[in-house]
């Protein structure tokens, strides 16, 4: 199960992701983040309510980040819980993604 809500705040389009980013929901996550990248020039993916992520979910974030890069869209991942952040760190995502502890706005 995964859910998304969007909100524009302080010049950012905040995509709040709630639930689990696994092999079943990764396509939905990628679609939601890509759609945001198409709408705005600054995207904050708020993962505070993301309970779980696997490599399939990471790939979805990576693909959205690539789409953002190719369109010169700023893309930041924010508010990860400790276990989700551990998965990002083990995958070296901190080298290629902008990661904030809190929302930038």
Q: Please identify, using beta-carbon distances, which residue of 18 and 66 lies nearer to other proteins.
A: 66
Query: Rule CB under 8 A: which residues touch other proteins?
Result: 20, 22-24, 52, 54-56, 58-59, 62-63, 65-66, 69, 83, 86-87, 89-92, 95-97
In whole angstroms, the minimum distance from the beta carbon of 8 to other proteins comes to 25
Q: Please identify, using beta-carbon distances, which residue of 28 and 63 lies nearer to other proteins.
A: 63
In whole angstroms, the minimum distance from the beta carbon of 26 to other proteins comes to 10
Which DSSP string corresponds to 34-101? HHHHHH-SEEEEEEEEEEEE-HHHHHHHHHHHHHHHHTT-EEEEE---HHHHHHHHHTTGGGTSEEES
Query: Which of 72, 51, 76 has its CA nearest to residue 61?
Result: 76
Alpha-carbon separation of residue 101 from 30, 31, 45, 57, 105 (angstroms) = 21, 24, 11, 19, 12
In whole angstroms, the minimum distance from the beta carbon of 66 to other proteins comes to 6
Q: Please identify, using beta-carbon distances, which residue of 6 and 98 lies nearer to other proteins.
A: 98
In whole angstroms, the minimum distance from the beta carbon of 39 to other proteins comes to 21
């Amino acid at each position: 199960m995964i859910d998304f809500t969007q909100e524009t705040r302080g010049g950012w389009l905040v995509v709040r992701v709630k639930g689990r980013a696994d092999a079943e929901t990764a396509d939905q996550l990628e679609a939601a983040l890509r759609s945001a990248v198409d709408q705005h020039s600054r995207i904050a993916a708020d993962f505070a309510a993301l309970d779980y992520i696997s490599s399939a979910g990471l790939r979805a974030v990576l693909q959205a980040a690539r789409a953002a890069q190719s369109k010169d869209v700023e893309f930041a991942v924010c508010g990860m819980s400790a276990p989700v952040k551990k998965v990002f760190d083990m995958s070296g995502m901190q080298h290629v993604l902008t990661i904030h502890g809190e929302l930038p706005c």
